[in-house]
Amino acid sequence: MQQHETHAGHTPHAGHTGDAHGHHEVHGHTHAPAGATWPTAVRATLHCLTGCAIGEVLGMVIGTALGWGNTPTTVLAIALAFFFGYSLTLRGILTAGVGFRTAFRVALAADTLSIAVMELIDNGVIALWPSAMDAKLADAVFWFSLAVSLVIAFAVTTPVNKWMIGRGKGHAVVHRYHH
């Protein structure tokens, strides 16, 4: 089976084939996937951060505007973060001509751990930030604490994504569908 994708910056060449486990055969020798680079991990994390931030901000704005308490607002924000995170990945995979069922499974495999880590860190920072949980939309602490929490979540999630990509998991799975 001829591979048309790249793994962690490695460009396939003639005689290069891969198996279902992400190993590559080059001229009769099998090699594990190359380790991920930091730029690759940063791009994957920025992709994840975009979906998480859209969902997180929208959930917090909706919950706060409706006068909901902290728990339902946080649950909505997390649910929307997962929804938008998966949706951005699905859009890219579906554009490559992959069927919805396969694309959905790929999005789950690619993004679940990344989004979960990002949400854990992001919401943990907000929960620990003095007065952030009680801030209203018009309060500077609402927006500042949210921005700082997303930056911290990005910093923590990037090494997680690098580790996963280096093992052929996470966004490495998505890259198989990009030509």
The pLDDT tens digits for 70-92 are 999 999 999 999 999 999 999 98
14: pLDDT confidence band, cut at 50, 70 and 90?
Answer: very low
pLDDT band for 9, please (50, 70, 90 cuts): very low
- What confidence tier does 15 reach under pLDDT thresholds 50, 70, 90? very low
| 8 Å CB contact between 172 and 8 | yes
- pLDDT on residue 26: 37
Phi, psi of 31 (to 5 degrees): -130, 145
Percentage of the chain surpassing pLDDT 70?
Answer: 79
pLDDT band at 36 (very low <50, low <70, confident <90, very high): confident
Model confidence at 115, pLDDT cuts 50, 70, 90, reads very high
Q: Rounded to whole angstroms, how far apart are CA atoms 90 and 96?
A: 10
Q: What 3-state class would DSSP assign to 17?
A: strand
Is it the case that residue 158 has pLDDT exceeding 90? yes
Mean pLDDT within 119-144: 93
DSSP string, 25-76: EETTEEEPPPPPPHHHHHHHHHHHHHHHHHHHHHHHHHHHHTT--HHHHHHH
pLDDT higher at 76 or 8: 76
